[in-house]
Amino acid sequence: MRLFGLIGFPLSHSFSKGFFAEKFQREGITDCRYENFPIPSIDQFQALWNDHPELEGMNVTIPYKQEVIPFLHHFSDAAKAIGAVNCIRRRDNELTGHNTDVIGFSRSLQPLLQPQHTKALILGAGGAAKAVKYALQRLGISYTEVSRKYFDGTIGYDAVNETVMREHTLIVNTTPLGMYPNVTEAPPIPYEFITDRHLLYDLIYNPAETLFMKKGAERGASVKNGHEMLILQAEASWEIWNA
């Protein structure tokens, strides 16, 4: 029996286990199982592999996407550039780290892109933003990062004016603002300058329509949540484990 799993802590609201259980049943895959491994410390990481010799691949979620890096032998280009891993493959007892958030985001965004979407505003500067930046670079889309805290190359929300909004017709929310249960929150940008030329992409998938998306749709913009990205990054993990 091939074994795959998810590490993180806690894992009470994991998407992955349910997704793979349904996938295995739907596709008649009877020689695989997927388990949650809620480890309270990354110190237990190596023992987990030792205790499960049949474990071939693993997804990684908060808080271990960066903490697993010292335990790995190889990295994909994306994982190396982003500095975060959410998918691991074991082959010949060596572990390779991947970042499938990049794949999921790219594959869900590409069908929505129009000729005017050449500049993006990335709201937030955390780990998810790093994956988005890498994906946009690969797609040839320039970006400006907006953050509450000032880093090199970022601007503050107070700098997002009419000119910035008109120039950046793709807006990606990588912050948790608007995520359930705080559904009345939204990133503080001037929504009155959004037009039907804009595409608003929210990495949040619960609720299905965030206030950020609703405000954009009211102004005629195209909107997208992060649910398809989540599915596509999980499918990308499966591709990696079976390559």
- Just list the catalytic residues: 65
* Alpha carbons 188 and 56: distance in angstroms, whole number: 43
CB-side neighbour CA atoms (13 Å) of 131:
25
Strand partners of residue 144: 121
Strand order in the sheet with 154-155: 154-155, 142-146, 119-123, 170-173, 199-202, 222-224
Residue that has been written with the tokens 């991947």 in this structure: 98
Q: What is the DSSP letter of 159?
A: G
Give, rounded to a whole angstrom, the gap between the first and last alpha carbons of the chain. 18
Residue that has been written with the tokens 């493959």 in this structure: 89
85 SS3 class: coil
Strand partners of residue 95: 90
